[in-house]
Structure 1
């Protein structure tokens, strides 16, 4: 595996969009496609053009966008599907048909011989039009092996460029995937690709086993999106290949987190905090033992072969009931707060008391506690929020106006967003952009009480151009005001310390 070159085929815009509740606009799709090309994926499956006019438009736009990645369209083994892909101008057509008995009999209602004939005809049609072809035997892992080999060899003889082995319902074990690909690799003379679903949480493991066994390409999605439980996650697959196996890909790993957050924003599917590599907690530490070790040498409680910088992430020391002296002191020193040993002990005691009440300790909480114990006046904040006004449109666009004093001088800024919270936060960013460069790093909303008048608590983090992150919280019955107040508090702390 070491130094082997593995290709990455991304299907976020096709299978990823099949995630229940996800529907991307053509504009969002083209932006994600540009980001995937920047990331360095070898092939982008842009969509299923026959599915809708919008999908056709998106695939055509992506195919004509001048991306460095190859652009692929999906098609059944039907001439009308293939023609739609050809009309869209893609460089590769990914054609598929069910081969397992359960799908073949109950869905397409074709005999084994008919499936072979349809597959060969589709591949020949694609090649006659001078295009690259990938063929998938859908539900391959539940297909009789001898018949599966027969189908794959038939399309190979017809001129297919690469075969895909889909674990369509996510039921194969990693050891089974290894055996399957090993057998296919001995039979085939063209590259093997895999498409693994995550129904049992094995999609990445199965993709890696397939590559160990001889596959040269893995199909993935950003954030593991896809039908049911999703697909093999791009970040986990790529970083396992790079860091554990020593294999090579064309992925520019420093853009992995940036890409994950773009897809999170456009799909509305939040990245779980504990998600490997791209989650908020992927490189976060709270335990006193862990933070002490990481502050001395990050390899003590991190993989070492993968650092946050490699994927565009940041290491965070999180304060809570398990926080140790080293973590609290380092957090204070990063804000130019230098307590004595006695003062530090008092600060830690208050931090733990607050954490024992179930509160997440933000940087603003820590600094407020420190100022209280050190007897240092906080003084006037750089930003003194005066007014927030929001106008909501009749579709999705909202407009917000924010008025504040910045170091005593009145400033007004406005912006639009998808909903009132988004518009208000963007207005604050616009206002601050005139004086300092900060960006929103993370954002979380929680309902503290029940009912229509629930108190909303917002925790928000901001980052400056030097990579320093400060978090703050605010609670209000008005979720817009809570969001703005939390953002302003975080920015004030970032600018003051």
Structure 2
């Protein structure tokens, strides 16, 4: 069901062009390896992207090899290469065996005069020649009028008509410097759509935070394809965000795409991991808080019926996410009762009131409430130990120097057996956490979802608090924290606590 008033869009099909591996990699500080690019390409194919811009082959020999490798991967999507309207660029793309060549030239006066130093007539001629060259070599062709939103409208339409006449398959209208307003984008695409008969694609930058809005307005005005990047990465402030564009189109507008939305979170996390650019928790669709609730009023409503305080037309399951009830100073009894029931604790009303009071007291000190805190408070209020320690840490040691790879050795009782494990990592904390994780064979597979270090006191003997979230293979997350003057010790203690609580929860879940 779509709530938007533009009824003609309901049921229409739009395609998604992903440029994470080209414009996305142009994010300052991001450099992907060949293997990472291949993994992202495969993931985008799994996600259902229609076209993947694999790179800019002429930029380097390594880039050309990357594009060729992706093009030869046998993916279901169309692989595209970027090229200026220069024969050497076009040949580089064609040599890679791409399905589509995306060729571009500046059309705005400011770029045309000051960068490529060509007349308007020369630009038209170069664009037409490039399109004809691509089509003569049997590839699909997309033509992009770079800086289209700052180009004189009559001239822009002249260029687009010329490349249409040369056999171009699809034209791209890029908001290269992100200056177009949503209403302006609607008017521009409407004008182009009424003058050109081939499909229209849009590429919006996020300099003012409206790339998604501009992309949606373009679709309303007649665009049939949207260019996006995973997590909205890209030059400067980035590009239109894939997950946000897709879910707005499908859930609000009722538009159809080929995207398998249940893989949106999985795709976002992969790109986060490879690029090192982590999404804020309040990021729409894929952020940790996208479906998290703390307020007592909200959690009460959501626990009764999710649609009360969630969009309804988009559920966490639709995007591969999970709903979370978060405890804090705004928590209510329903949230605490639900969280306790998940770990098999059924307190009386009096005990529940006391647990809630203590949780709020902790939160009012500015502390984040984690799962282990709730467990500890409940144990104290009920007057008994509510958990079983599957892992009992005995000792651990870490060896590190500027000449050796950090290595950790951990000894613990796991179940009823003593186990010694060792592992190495990029630092002492990484090595220690990997060593603990390797002890879990036969119990569960985990990955660290959240890791934060916060200084509690200052000075050379400062206490540091480490908060860790661990996730099992079914996507369930449990958090714990620990404080110590030694951040490695705090990290290991927090991880062991989180794992023990997760295993307790899994035991209960398996019985339900």
Can you list the C-alpha shifts for 1:142-169, whole angstroms capped at 9, x where unaligned? 0000000111111111111110000011
Where in structure 2 are the equivalents of 1:149-168 lying within 5 Å?
Answer: 149-168=157-176
Can you list the C-alpha shifts for 1:244-291, whole angstroms capped at 9, x where unaligned? 011111111000000000100110001100000000000000000000
Where in structure 2 are the equivalents of 1:11-410 lying within 5 Å?
Answer: 11-378=19-386, 381-390=389-398, 399-410=407-418
How far 1:414 sits from its partner (Å)?
3.8
Q: Does the residue aligned with 2:359 lie in a helix, a strand or coil? A: helix
How far 1:86 sits from its partner (Å)?
1.5
Task: Tell whether 2:464 aligns with 1:443.
Answer: no
Write the distance in 2 (CA, Å) between the matches of 1:391 and 1:128: 62
Contact 1:429 1:438 in 2 (8 A): yes
How far 1:373 sits from its partner (Å)?
0.8
* TM-score between both structures, scaled by the size of structure 2: 0.93
How far 1:480 sits from its partner (Å)?
3.6
Gaps of 5+ in 1: none
How far 1:377 sits from its partner (Å)?
2.2
Gaps of 5+ in 2: 1-8, 506-512
Identify which range, 268-277 or 106-115, moves more after superposition.
106-115
Contact 2:387 2:504 in 1 (8 A): no
Q: Does the residue aligned with 2:503 lie in a helix, a strand or coil? A: helix
* TM-score between both structures, scaled by the size of structure 1: 0.95
Contact 2:388 2:500 in 1 (8 A): no
Contact 2:388 2:504 in 1 (8 A): no
- 2:510 corresponds to which residue? none
Q: Is the alpha carbon distance of 1:447 and 1:95 closer, same or farther for their aligned partners in structure 2, counting shifts above 3 Å? A: farther
How far 1:387 sits from its partner (Å)?
3.6
Q: Does the residue aligned with 1:194 lie in a helix, a strand or coil? A: strand
Can you list the C-alpha shifts for 1:298-336, whole angstroms capped at 9, x where unaligned? 000000000000000000000000000000011001100
Contact 1:164 1:195 in 2 (8 A): yes
Contact 2:375 2:386 in 1 (8 A): no
How far 1:444 sits from its partner (Å)?
3.2
How far 1:443 sits from its partner (Å)?
3.2
How far 1:183 sits from its partner (Å)?
0.7
How far 1:425 sits from its partner (Å)?
2.9
Contact 1:444 1:460 in 2 (8 A): yes
Write the distance in 2 (CA, Å) between the matches of 1:397 and 1:221: 35
Q: Is the alpha carbon distance of 1:393 and 1:179 closer, same or farther for their aligned partners in structure 2, counting shifts above 3 Å? A: farther
Write the distance in 1 (CA, Å) between the matches of 2:395 and 2:67: 44
Q: Is the alpha carbon distance of 1:399 and 1:105 closer, same or farther for their aligned partners in structure 2, counting shifts above 3 Å? A: farther
Write the distance in 2 (CA, Å) between the matches of 1:444 and 1:262: 20
- RMSD of equivalent CA atoms: 2.0
- 2:13 corresponds to which residue? 5
Q: Is the alpha carbon distance of 1:203 and 1:487 closer, same or farther for their aligned partners in structure 2, counting shifts above 3 Å? A: same
Identify which range, 147-156 or 440-449, moves more after superposition.
440-449
Contact 2:22 2:56 in 1 (8 A): yes
- 2:3 corresponds to which residue? none
Q: Does the residue aligned with 2:142 lie in a helix, a strand or coil? A: strand
